[in-house]
Every structure is written in C-alpha cells, then in structure tokens.
Chain A
Amino acid sequence: MNDRMKQLYQELILDHNKNPRNFRTIDPADREALGHNPLCGDKLKLYLKINDQNVIEDVAFIGDGCAISKASASMMTTVVKGKTVEEAEELFTQFHEMSMGTLNVDTQENKLGKLTIFSGVRDLPARVKCATLPWHTLHSALHNKKEITTE
C-alpha cells in the first residue's frame, strides 16, 4: 500500500463509510435532490430541513456508492448541519475547488477543516466525482433542483 492510498483511505473515511452519519430519510423534507454518477452507478438522495432564518436544521441522505462518495456524503451532513445556506454554499465552492486542485488547502485560507481529508482525490481524476457528488447534490437541493448527474 503506497502513501497516496494511505492518505486517501484514512481511518476517518473508512469509518464514515462503514457507519455513515445521518444515513436516513427526512419526511417531510423542505428540499430533496437526487445525485447520480452514471459512470459508476452511484446514487444519492439528499434531504434538507431549512428554517425561517435560512439555517440548515437537519440534513440526511440515503444511497449506494463507493467508500469515497459515502464518506464524503456522511461528513458533509455533519459539517453543514446548523450552518446557513450561504455558509453551506461557500463550503461547496471550496470543496469543489480543492477536489479540482485549484484550491491548495495547505497554503490557501479555507473553512474546510476536517473535509481536507479528501484533498487526495485531486491526484485521482477518476475519483474526483465520487467525492464531489454529495456536494453537487447539496448545491442542487439548495437551488431547488431535483436531480443532477455528474456527466
């Protein structure tokens, strides 16, 4: 096992994959969106409760995917819960930039915190979409779009 793999498949990611947080539905939800990566068949449904102050009160997901997408979704829910829609949008942008390699989390200011654990995907172009699918789905839900695909 080389260092790149050790960096990617860290304990935290493996744990969120095995025991995903907020892995449930919300009924009724204020917003819902379906994320789909047709290349690998990953599917993810995201539910949101947003209150009058524009704060994400609750967030949950169900779906099937690889360890990277599942852990990314799980960690995303733990991070955005309690944040305002604007704060969540800012995280979406930074997470996306980190995955694409345009934001260097070691040298550039950001609010990603423990989410920087996913920075290794920038070296694995085939896996970038796995990590970003949950965030794109969140972005769509916040914009009231019902369905997105990564293609």
Chain B
Amino acid sequence: MNLNQDILPNREISFDPILYRKDFPILNREVNGTKLVYLDNAASMQMPQVVIDSFVDYQSRFHANVHRGVHTLSQEATDKYEAVRSKIRDLIHAKSENEIIYTYGTTDALNMVASTYGRQNISTGDEILISEMEHHANIVPWYMLAKEVGAIIKVIPITDSGEINMDAYTSMLSNRTKIVAVTHVSNALGTINPVKTIAELAHQAGAIIVVDGAQAVPHAKVDVQDLNCDFYAFSAHKMCGPTGLGVLYGKFDILNSMPPYRGGGDMIKSVTFEHIIFNDVPFKFEAGTPPISQVIMFGESIDYVNNIGIDRISEYESELLSYATKRANEIEGLTIIGTAVQKASVLSFTLKGIHPHDIGTILDQSGVAVRTGHHCAQPVMDRFNVPATTRASFAFYNTFEEVDELISAIHQVKEVFG
C-alpha cells in the first residue's frame, strides 16, 4: 500500500526515522510471518542497541553494589550510578540532583508520595482531587490513602473531547483541597493537560500538585520548575530504557520534610537498637540495593534521546499523529476516542460493531502490535461508554508507511466482519 500523498504533511525531510530504526534490533523481527509494526509505545518503548550494550558493558566491567565498599569496583559503579541523577535533573530541568529519587517505576513513585507525604499531611475531611482520565496508578494509591485517613476523593470531570474541564476544576478547589493529582499526558486518550495552569490554581488553593509524567517525558520537553509541580513521576522503560526503574522528582523542601518510605540499608546514617538516624534526601527514600544496572542503562537512554533532540521528536511524532488521525477518520465506522486540541502521539479508537480484542488479534496477524483493552484507565472507558478501545501509540522510530500498514490492517478487520 502506498502513502496517501494527498494528505501527507508538506514537510521538509528534517527528520528521518530510518536513521534511528537501525539502532533498534527488535524492529527487524518478524511476527506471524510478517514484518513487525510496533505501535504499542505508550505501553513500553523499544530499546536501542547502545542501551542494550551498556548493560553488558556495566556487568562485564563495573558491577558492584553502590554506596558500600571502598574497593575500586564499588566506587566506579557508584560514580556511574550517581552520574545519571544529574542527567535526569537536566532532562526534566530540576533545580538539584538531590530532588531526583530512583524508584521502581511510576506506580512505585506515586505510591511513595501517597504513603509518605500523604500520610503525613492528609487527614479526615481533607480533599484529594484527581481527574477522570487518570491511569489506575494515579487513582488507587489515593483511594488507599483516603480510606486510611478518612480523606475525600473528588474527581475532576473531562469533556467529550477528552480535556480536563477547567471550570469544573476551578470550582472544586477549596481550602479543603490538599492534593491535586493529574496526568501530564493521558495514556488512554493522548491529551496533553495544561499542568502549569492546573498547578497554579492548586497552589492558590493551598494544595500541592502531583503529576504522572509517564507518557510525557518520552515525547516532549518537560521543565518541572516552569510547571511548578511539587512532585513529578515517570518511568525509564517508556523512553528507550529498561523496566524496573522509575523516577520521582520532588521539590527539595517538601522531600526534606517527608518521612521515609521503605526501611532498610542505604536509607540510614546510623542504626542502633535504641535509635535510628535516617539518611539525607534523596537516599532516605532509596532503601536496599537499588536497580543499579537499570539506572546506568537509563543514563544511556537519556543520551540517546538527547542526541536526537526531544523537540525534534515531538515535532515528528505530532506529524505522524496528524497523518494517522486523518487516515483513520477516512474509515467508516471508526470513532477516535480522545480528540483534544493538544495531543501526544496516541490514537485510541473504536470500530462500530467490532470488539477491540478481535481487532487486536487480527492486527497482530498482520504484524501490527497495538494495545487493546481498558489501558489501566477503566473510568475513561466508562466516561466514553465503551468497554475497551484499540490504541496505536507512536514513537520517533515509526514511519508514515507503518501508519499505512495500520490503516490497511484495520480495513482487513472490517472485511472479516463484513
């Protein structure tokens, strides 16, 4: 199938995904006898060879536990591991590397905030605002906290296009509001939320803001100081990195006043059976042997993405999305779920009379990998009155031809179901 030239964006060839595709060995594999078209990047992005190699290099030459020994290997491993903290600081424009806490993922990071800051500061009758488009990871920890301390969860409604209803949000804020927890980019809808404005309003009401940035960091420039968010969480594996590693950014003064999360080695300065002195921020929140190799690999992922340029990635992905949206809209019976003005490269849709799981199975037979289901955002599905959607999510290594493969596979689904 050829590109639909009429609606291809009129673009200068400033971004060539082919240059980067060769860095990703997995993109060469076949699935069900046909070339893989990987469009499930919002679930997990693939990993370039340099990042894979960095694991082998680290394990072959530098591996030891960090922050522990005086021997050479431990020192070298510690230096490499700690150097990544500054890379992450620069990636999200934090003020200090001490504001960067390594976690086991976005979910872990959000649970950390709920369990530490939450338990310390939230009590009976206090209100926590979350939006209707949150991932379960930014819903469940708050419900668990609310149940424990007697706080109240209020849900900020979203519009039919999948945007936060800002009027409703403004009217829900009061001096009872203590936490506002919102996603920067919706994994199910693609909506990019106006986090800076949401933060400003939250602060005016005396609340803090917690941002789920899992879908934002890999696709757009994030500046936590400009956004003025109090906490910002994201995962490594959604940006060419390994699973098992996430990041929690928090403003230093807030982190410094928080109790620790898990107890164990490395998060303490001294332990006697009578008295324990906790370590300083950020180590206070990093008990036990951390995911050392994952951190070092993620350092390579950040370098890789920086070499391409996050602004160029954003721009290209937005062209891809716009092309995919136009082509999808040409398909009769296809409804796009999530039509916000500001969107990241997520195309969630339904096909009239055809269940997403049948779509997913048939697409997979054409080598096209998409996510089908509720995307860990069941309230979003309820809001749009669908049991599930099919979601194609694009990365900078996807091509316009792959969008065509997707469209052609959707036509095949329609043929099967007549």
Contacts and interface: CB of A to CB of B under 8 A. Distances in A.
Interface of A: 1-2, 4-5, 8-9, 14, 39-43, 64-68, 70, 124, 126-127, 130
Report the interface size class on chain B: 20 to 34
Nearest to B415: A1
B388 A1 contact: no
Nearest to B378: A41
B57 interface: no
B416 interface: yes
Nearest to B382: A41
Interface in B349-363: 354-358, 361-362
A126 B373 contact: no
A14 B361 contact: no
Nearest to A37: B357
Contacts of B387: 40-43, 64-65
Contacts of B10: none
20 contacts: A1-B416, A2-B365, A5-B365, A8-B361, A9-B358, A14-B416, A14-B417, A40-B374, A40-B387, A40-B388, A41-B378, A41-B388, A42-B387, A66-B356, A66-B357, A66-B358, A67-B354, A124-B361, A126-B357, A127-B361
Contact of A5 (B357, B362, B372): B362
Contacts of A14: 416-418
B32 interface: yes
B9 interface: no
- Per CB-CB distance, the 7 closest pairs between chain A and chain B, nearest first, are A66-B355, A41-B387, A66-B357, A67-B358, A66-B358, A41-B388, A5-B365
Interface in B18-59: 32-33
A4 B357 contact: no
A43 to B, nearest CB: 8
Nearest to A14: B417
B266 to A, nearest CB: 36
A8 B416 CA distance: 11
A42 B357 CA distance: 10
A40 B357 contact: yes
B305 interface: no
B33 to A, nearest CB: 7
B365 A67 contact: no
Nearest to A4: B365
A39 B373 CA distance: 7
Given A41-B374, A127-B361, 6 more contacts: A1-B412, A40-B374, A42-B387, A65-B355, A66-B356, A70-B355
B140 interface: no
A1 B365 contact: yes
Contacts of B418: 14
Contacts of B33: 2
B358 A68 contact: yes
Contacts of A40: 356-357, 372-374, 387-388
B146 to A, nearest CB: 23
B166 interface: no
Contacts of A1: 362, 365, 412, 415-416
B32 A2 contact: yes
Nearest to B32: A2
A7 to B, nearest CB: 11
Contacts of A9: 358, 362, 416-417
Contacts of B374: 40-41
**Most chain A C-beta atoms within 10 Å of own C-beta, residue among B373, B381, B388:** B388
Contacts of B362: 1, 5, 9
A48 B378 CA distance: 30
Contacts of A39: 373
B416 A5 contact: yes
Contact of A130 (B357, B388, B412): B357
B218 to A, nearest CB: 25
Contacts of B355: 65-67, 70
Contacts of B356: 40, 66
Contacts of A70: 355
Contacts of B412: 1
Contacts of B365: 1-2, 4-5
**Most chain A C-beta atoms within 10 Å of own C-beta, residue among B356, B361, B373, B417:** B361
Contacts of B378: 41
Nearest to B360: A126
B244 to A, nearest CB: 23
A71 to B, nearest CB: 10
Contacts of B361: 5, 8, 124, 126-127
A42 B361 CA distance: 16
A27 B374 CA distance: 32
Interface in B378-418: 378, 381, 387-388, 412, 415-418
B62 to A, nearest CB: 39
A130 B417 CA distance: 17
